A = this chain, B = another copy of it.
């Protein structure tokens, strides 16, 4: 994959759970969510499992099993979601050690790591400006031909 689509799928799942709750009530199952995302239910369960560990959703097992939001979408930002799924770093230093006998090879890694830490924080700060309620509102604002299913 070119970029990382996990944040997209996570936002999709969370807003789907909320819309399902509004329209039909009750818990959302990984199978229904996967039907909307167009992926395998296990992919959804893995992703929601990490969000549950971070306190964003709760799961129930046994009969009437499924997923519910742990708090309103207004109180959940894309930063919360991003951090809950613990994505790989956006930038990396050399995959194999550079030549440490060269001043550049010796000193460049910590310098670049510091730069990348600043960039990652800028990413998180930007994601913090967007709540999942914003996402759901903008999604529903786009005209939809039927809106029969979800």
What residues of chain A have their CB less than 8 Å away from a CB belonging to chain B?
1-5, 7-9, 11-12, 15-16, 19, 35-39, 78, 88-99, 101-112, 114-116, 118-119, 122-123, 125-127, 129-130, 135, 138-142, 144-150
- How near does chain B come to A37, taking the closest CB pair, in angstroms? 5
How many chain copies does the complex carry?
2
**Residue on B nearest A141 in the bound complex, by CB:** B107
Q: Are B101 and A139 in contact (CB under 8 A)?
A: no
Within 8 Å by CB of A15, from B90, B95, B104, B147, lies B104
**Contact check: which of B92, B112, B146 meets A1 at CB < 8 Å?**
B92
List the 3 shortest-distance A-B pairs measured between CB atoms, nearest first: A3-B92, A107-B142, A107-B139
Asked if A144 contacts B36 (CB within 8 A), the reply is no
Q: Are A112 and B8 in contact (CB under 8 A)?
A: yes
B103 touches A140 (CB 8 A): yes
Q: Which of A4, A108, A126, A147: most chain B CB closer than 10 A? A: A108
